[in-house]
Structure formats: C-alpha cells, structure tokens
Amino acid sequence: MKPKRRYYSLIDKVYQIENLYEAWLSVKKNQGSGGIDGVSIAMFEKNVSMNLRELRRLLQQGRYKPDPVRRHHIEKENGKLRPLGIPTIRDRVCQQAVRQIIEPIFEQDFYAYSFGFRAGYSAHQAINTIRRAKRGGYEYVVDLDIMSFFDEIPHELLMEKVHERITDGKVLTLIRGWLTAGVMEDDQFHETEIGSPQGGNLSPLLANLYLNHFDWVMKEKGFAVVRYADDAVILCKTKEQAEEAYLEAKTILENELRLRMHPE
C-alpha cells in the first residue's frame, strides 16, 4: 500500500464559523434530548450565534473541554437494553464539526462493501450485494456478532488508527477527550477507559475506522465481507471456506482488534 497522506493542520478548518454553523444545522435536524447540562436544542438555538462564537473561541484557544455523556438506555428488539451516551448539544455540534472535516479524509481508505453510517451507502445496498453474491454461488454465510462493540473499542488502538491520517495534535486531543469524557448515570460519574459512546456524532465514523482493518485483511485473504457498522457477514462458496473464514475473522477481531466475538 502506498503511504497515506497525513494531515497536520485541521483545527482551523474545524472552528471556521461556516463549518460550525453547518454542524449545528445537522445536530438540530437530528433532534434528540439534551445532555447533562440540561440544555435542549431549543435553548441552544435561542442564542445560537453567541453559542457558536463561544465554541469557536474555546477551540481557537485550545480551551475546549468535553462534558461527560448522559447515560440513557433504549430497548433492543431482543428486549435487552442498549446503553446510549448522550453528549451535550455543544459537544454534539463540536463532534459534528470535527466529523465534517475528517470524514472525507478517512472515506478514501474505506472498504467498498462497508455500508453503515456512510453518505451514499445504505442497508438496502448491503442486502442487494448479498443477494447478488448468493446468485453468484456464495451459498454459505458466516454471520459475525461482536459483543458490546461500541463499549469495548480500545482507545489506544483506535487513536493509532486516527493518527495514521491525522497529526494535528489539537484535533487528536479533542477526539481523545470525547472518548475519555466519562459517563453520568443517576448523578454518579463513571470513568470511560474503553469504548466510544453510542449516541455521539463521531462514534459511527470511529467505528468504521476501527473495523476498516478487519475489512481489508479479510479481503487480502480472499474472503468476501459485507459489513454494516458492527454487523458483518462473510460470504463463502463452500462449508470448508466458511469454517476457515470464521477462524480468520476470530483471529483478527480478538487478537488484533481486541474485541469479543459472540460465541453463538
């Protein structure tokens, strides 16, 4: 692989007022409840130009400090609870502003059959890809389930992957700050030593970045992977190939990426 171009100076693009405003519009469109500071979308909007100028000033001066996320549980289809971490509106705007600048950089490296949380990609495309493969003779499927993926991404390994492309220390500090900002649950503060909170604007991009290694290594070994966020299937033509694919995937996910595969 050719060496990747690295980006040294991005923070000034992040805090450009146009970029912050675009980030605010995106956060507003997605709605959702406020974070631990009790500020709602409507409240933020009342003084939006002042809020964005203040955000810009803190980012410019390198004085921005992320807040802990508010823990909120939603029920999954199987009745289990999925923990969400809801950042403050200010943090959501800031994460979105960072995402708008760094996403196009990482997008160049992403695997073509990764369909989750990417502009222009959808679950329908993933399903159609699988249908085409089945018609092409891929009769066996390895269905991967990563346990508590968002909660267990190791920070150091994730930051190494960010650093392959981004060397702007201020942007790296921001990303690390969000990863380690901690969680407030029932007025109790909990440290976050691993994981990326599900609910942050940056989490989907970081998730794709982290699993991109898996996609490419499997491809190099000759396996056809279709991935949607932390759900992936490996399409195989024979049962033997499927068994081999399962072992390869397990090795990459557990040994190289330090994640846990569901035993079922």
**CA angle (169 as vertex; 180, 5 as ends), nearest 5:** 115
Q: How far apart are CA 20 and CA 247, in angstroms?
A: 45
Angle at 169 between CA 64 and CA 67, to 5 degrees: 25
**pLDDT confidence of residue 80:** 78
pLDDT of the residue at 75: 79
Collect all residues with Cβ–Cβ distance below 8 Å to 228 and sequence separation of at least 6: 114, 115, 116, 123, 126
pLDDT of residue 189: 64
Distance, in Å, from the CA atom of 55 to the CA atom of 151, rounded to the nearest integer, reads: 28
- From the list 54, 96, 87, 258, the residue with the least C-alpha distance to 179 is 87
How many CB atoms within 10 Å of residue 124?
9
CB atoms within 10 A of CB 105: 16
Beta bridge mates, 260: none
Give the residue among 224, 221, 204, 226 at the shortest CA–CA distance from 256. Answer: 221
Of the CATH numbers 3.30.465.10, 3.30.70.270, 1.10.600.10, 3.40.50.720, which one belongs to the domain with range 111-154+194-263? 3.30.70.270
Look-up: residue for tokens 């971490």?
85
pLDDT of residue 135: 87
d(CA 249, CA 67): 36
Residue stretches of the chain with pLDDT short of 70: 1-3, 189-190, 192-193, 195, 197-198, 264
The whole-angstrom distance between residue 224's C-alpha and the CA centroid of its chain comes to 22
CA dihedral 100, 178, 157, 99 (to 10 degrees): 0
Q: How far is 153 from 203, CA to CA, in rounded Å? A: 10
pLDDT attached to residue 71: 81
pLDDT of residue 102: 93
Identify the pLDDT of residue 84: 79
| Closest C-alpha among 157, 99, 108 to residue 2 | 108
This prediction's pTM? 0.88
| Per-domain boundaries in the chain | 8-108+167-193, 111-154+194-263
pLDDT at 134: 87
Q: For residues 202 and 102, give the distance between their C-alpha atoms in angstroms, rounded to a whole number.
A: 10
Q: Which two tokens stand for residue 195?
A: 């994981």
